[in-house]
Amino acid sequence: MTTFKALVATKGETGPNLAFTDFAESDLMEGDVTVRVTHSTVNYKDGLAITGKAPVVRRWPMIPGVDFSGRVETSDHPDFKPGHLVILNGWGTGETHLGAYAQKSRVKGDWLVPLPAGMNPGEAMAIGTAGYTAMLCVLALERHGLKPADGPVVVTGAAGGVGSVAIALLAKAGWHVVASTGRSEEADYLKSLGAAEIIDRNELSAPGRPLGKERWIAGVDAVGSHTLANLLSMTRYGGAIAACGLAQGMDLPTSVMPFILRGVALLGVDSVMCPKPRRLEAWARLATDLDRDALAKITTTIPLESVIETGKAIIEGKVRGRVVVEVG
């Protein structure tokens, strides 16, 4: 029987019980492509799954991890052959389908994206779901017709994974980036990514007015709750906020005022079930638009054995930028 190393979560009374174990390949779930996983990452969502702070895992037992990169071992899918390098983001992996914190994964080939030319698997996971989501947010703002000449763009949760990549992408595209963070010690880091201004998240995190002073034309928000409500209230006429997260909360205590008096748009961004054509567009843009030196600057690499402690740290706000997991 073929086995491989995997992090397995079982349901406990106060949260998931986590253990590294030898997992049988025959116990992998259905799929037409088997991938030898070489790299994964730790996203905020992975931290929620590992700690049980939110009901991310909906099938037990589960191998956590929502995205991976690796090499195809076997395939019955017409687009992929053994040896192809691939990326997977979302589609329920780590939630309802056995996920990425393992040396092998069997998935549907339709879920996979070819690794872009000139990018290696480690770089793909330095980007990961967080960076891919940031690119989806940038694309959403572009589709809305917004451009750097229109005014500043605000990025919340700026020192996190989505925020760090969003700043790098937007700054390179010529935007004046306003970075919101609760970690003042990260100011130099954020400026090195291209942030032009740093504001304290306390300016945005408390209950605010239905309409505030117009400050920016666009935004990328991974925080939600009062922060998103304040972003909307301070968005200039005709602007838009791309929302992709809920680090502060899943509520949205706002009013219709920004929408009906300033024509502000709230653009929802989903990375999990995003259609494949848009995924391919996002990864193609990441391959050309994201500065690799900036990517290296925001990336830390850990072994698979450190995933549990890193998952806890990311929920506590102790992780900066992106984390690559070398699965081995």
Mean pLDDT estimate for the chain: 96
Mean pLDDT for the stretch of residues 253-276: 97
Closest CA to 207 of 158, 267, 252, 258: 252
Residue bearing the bigger pLDDT, 294 or 6: 6
Task: Please tell me what DSSP assigns to residue 93.
Answer: B
Annotated domain spans of the chain: 3-115+298-326, 129-268
Residue 176 has pLDDT above 80, yes or no: yes
User: Residues 6 or more apart from 188 whose CB is under 8 A from it?
Assistant: none
Average pLDDT (178-183) is 96
Q: Tokens representing 65?
A: 């991890």
Can you give the pTM of this predicted structure? Answer: 0.92
Contacts of 225 (CB under 8 A, 6+ apart): 205, 246, 248, 249, 250, 251, 252, 253
Confidence class for position 14, pLDDT limits 50, 70, 90: confident
**303's tokens:** 């072994």
Cα(278)–Cα(65) distance, rounded to whole angstroms? Answer: 22
88-129 tens-digit pLDDT: 999 999 999 999 999 999 999 999 999 999 999 999 999 999
pLDDT at 316 over 90: yes
Indicate the class that CATH gives domain 129-268: alpha beta
Whether pLDDT at 193 is above 80: yes
Q: What is the pLDDT of residue 328?
A: 79
- The amino acid present at 327, given as its one-letter code, is V
Please give the CATH architecture assigned to the domain spanning 3-115+298-326. Answer: Alpha-Beta Complex (3.90)
Please give the pLDDT value at position 297: 87
Please say if the pLDDT value at position 77 is more than 90: yes
Alpha helices, DSSP H only, in the chain? 44-51, 121-143, 161-172, 187-193, 202-205, 225-233, 257-261, 276-289, 292-297, 307-315
- Over residues 221-233, the mean pLDDT reads 98
pLDDT at 1 over 80: no
